[in-house]
A and B are shown apart, each in its own frame.
Chain A
Amino acid sequence: MASSRLNFLGPTPLSRRRALWGMALIAPNTLGLLFFFGIPVLIAFWTSFQQWNALKPPVYIGLENFERLVDDQMFHTALTNTLKLLGLTVPLEIVLAMGVAVLLNQPLAGRSLLRTAYFLPVVTSTVAASIVWTGAFQQRYGILSSLLEPVGLGDYKWLVDPGLVLIPIAAVTVWQRLGFDMVIFLAGLQSIPGVLYEAATIDGANRWQRFRHVTLPMLSPTTFLVMVLAVINSFQIFDQVYVMTLRTVPGGVGGSATTLAYYLYRRAFTDSEFGYASAIALVLFVIILSVTVVQLAGQRMWVYYEAEKG
């Protein structure tokens, strides 16, 4: 009789047993995701309608947090900075990663070593990397400043000047993401059939034409994937800001280095405004979601899937 209640799992006892096995196997992960991700996300959603400083009981205030966001100058600054960082990092990251991947796809001496070298920043902790980069960008005594001195760029206050501070943050982000993107691009490149290049060569295509008309279109699904991931990542830039501005002005002078993720952290954990911080998180979520949806809708215009033609 018990089995009849399990009928939804499958038509036969065997298929039902298999389904149960499968569910048992994914259960630990799913439960973990549910308890440590799903439920907190739902609670955050609810918290965004409350005023809550974690000491006094929360008070339901409806949409007040969201109304406050509209007039919050720092929120606007953070949103602008986040978009600026998106512009500074995503195109550069994709172009550089694709370039490096194409180069390291050639039969070069020491290719594996180079691939490893480019991948190293990915497995380096962002915090550690950011600390080292902070030193490098220090005015006058930083290694970067010393290197740039002969060209007259040595005396810039990279980490405190409101007009410059996003550059070191973008630099660390690109440097760290490059290896990850490169690996995805390498995988994409290696799945392009060699016969296409042969055919193009026979048709008289030169190196550039082969890249432009074979590599780029065949790689477009990979490029799309890299782009979506890079955009999401750029919306979440936090560690670099936290570490690189910690020792001077946290969040930059006048909030010049403050990103959305950093701003919500500050609101929650410095100012104890958990309701307001949750509202920011929710807005950030909606922004990322809509940008991703737009990207998905736009892919038809430029992403080429082999299967469609085949």
Chain B
Amino acid sequence: MRKAKRQLVAVLLVLLMSALALPVNAQDGEPVIQPQPCEEPGQLTMWVWDEAWAEIIGASIDQWAAEYCPGAEVDLQVQPWGQYWDLLQTNAAGGDLPDVFNMSQPFFYFYASNDVLLDLQPYWDQYGVDTTVWGSGMVDPYRWGEAGDLYAAPVNWDTIAIFYNKDMFDAAGLEYPSAGWTWDDFAAAAEALTNADEDIYGAEVYLEFQAGYPNWIAATGTTPVVEAGRARCTLADEGSIEALTFLQNLYQQGYMPSVSIVGSTSPDDAFNLFASGRIAMVAGGSWKLPVAFEEVPFNWDVVQLPAHPETGLSRSILHAVGYVASSRTENPDLAANLILFLASDEGQRYFAEAGGVAPANPSPALQQLWIDSFGDSDVNIQAFVDATVDSQGVTAFDEIWDAINSEIVVQIFDLDVPVEEAVASTCEFIETQLPEQQQ
């Protein structure tokens, strides 16, 4: 009896000490998301598609199992991207899904609408997590049902900004762009930096969904491609047409290369042309930072996307990978507890420290840790972080992906199809793919 009491006192002391120690660790105040101990340890399986992520997440899981859920075991498996979705689908069909797995925004709809995913909202409520702490683009695409329940915890974020060649700006006698620059400033710079005789283009910003034209549509205040709730195609809306026309003009003036010149609809190829000095300004994701630091041989910097002159908006398309749980898991409480930890400041620290992948947790300390992981540099990495706040998630999904990711791009920026005509045919196709009855 006495022994038990002494043990209890010891435990309380340890708890008290660790509570006192916490503020010292989290220097920038309270953690944004606080992990909780699990109620009952058990076994979970988890799938991720990336080896490097598996290492980071594995370290994070070890901490969870050691400090918050002693006795829990997680079988973490890597299913490479090339087969990830096929395997997930066949396993879902066989009723044999992993308990916890990574999800991508364009795929979420398919799994959510087939009732495969666990609703995490009750757990967010139980744990007292305010789901609006995450930037809108990170979580909105993972909401489902009438009440907008959040089914996923975002792992990371990717945003878009403009990489520009400082040497080319110097040579043209232009000032470097700064946050708050507008479409007009951008167009003027693209014109001034273009040198047709030497095959040098001022810019390349329209390619593909995430890095491309949807950012410009979002800046007009229009939701790109399809409305939230997937009820309607928005490409024929005024804002979409304005953005696409603006971009098509720049292309037709010769300030931006065609898809055929770039060789593909992939912004990676546009980035390669930027790195080889053939394009002065390129829209690129935060995931390009490691490549840029390593391979770009000239002086460069990053600036946020130019703002629409009237709305004043600069909205980046953001994609966040999510952690989701299977609706058929035998351990929903445990799965949710693990996800909570992985999304917490403590769990996300591993991503911030590893560099490369930006942690979704908005804690300023974590974001700074991520920026610092690139070492000392003058590059304005903060531009990517700033873009997360009022960001636009991925609205496109499987069936319409190619139509809006590449087909409309080639029509407008290679085959010179008039914008009105291209959006009409694309919308016509999209409408056939939208679900008839809404969630």
Contacts and interface: CB of A to CB of B under 8 A. Distances in A.
A250 B86 CA distance: 19
A248 B114 contact: no
Contact of A160 (B92, B266, B399, B414): B414
Interface string B83-96: 00010011011000
Contacts of B266: 247
Contact of A159 (B86, B260, B399, B411): B260
A19 to B, nearest CB: 41
Contact of B260 (A135, A140, A270): A140
Contacts of A56: 114
A160 B264 CA distance: 10
A55 B415 contact: no
A160 B89 contact: no
Interface residues of B, number: 29
A157 B263 CA distance: 10
B411 A253 contact: yes
A141 B415 contact: no
Interface residues of A, number: 24
A126 interface: no
Given A160-B414, A160-B415, A54 B90 contact: yes
A141 B401 CA distance: 28
A249 B406 contact: yes
Contacts of A160: 259-260, 410, 414-415
Contacts of B116: 55
A250 B262 CA distance: 16
A160 B401 CA distance: 18
A155 to B, nearest CB: 9
B114 A253 contact: no
B398 interface: yes
Interface in B297-348: none
Which of A53, A54, A160 is the most central at the interface, judged by chain B CB atoms within 10 Å of its CB?
A: A160
Given A55-B114, A249-B402, A140 B92 contact: no
B407 interface: yes
A82 interface: no
A271 interface: yes
A54 B94 CA distance: 9
Nearest to A142: B263
A251 interface: yes
B114 A139 contact: no
Contacts of A141: 261, 263
Which of B86, B90, B401, B415 is the most central at the interface, judged by chain A CB atoms within 10 Å of its CB?
A: B415
A263 to B, nearest CB: 13
B410 A270 contact: no
Contacts of A159: 260
B415 A272 contact: no
A271 B432 CA distance: 13
A159 B110 CA distance: 31
A161 interface: yes
A160 B258 CA distance: 11
Interface in B413-430: 414-415, 425
Given A138-B263, A247-B265, 5 more contacts: A53-B114, A249-B265, A269-B86, A271-B398, A271-B399
Interface of B: 86, 89-90, 92-93, 110-111, 114, 116, 258-261, 263-266, 269, 398-399, 401-402, 406-407, 410-411, 414-415, 425
The 4 closest A-B pairs by CB, nearest first: A247-B264, A139-B260, A55-B114, A54-B93
30 contacts: A54-B89, A54-B90, A54-B92, A54-B93, A55-B116, A56-B114, A139-B258, A139-B261, A140-B261, A141-B261, A157-B258, A157-B260, A157-B415, A159-B260, A160-B410, A160-B414, A247-B265, A248-B259, A248-B260, A249-B406, A250-B402, A250-B406, A251-B402, A253-B410, A269-B86, A270-B398, A270-B399, A270-B402, A272-B110, A272-B398
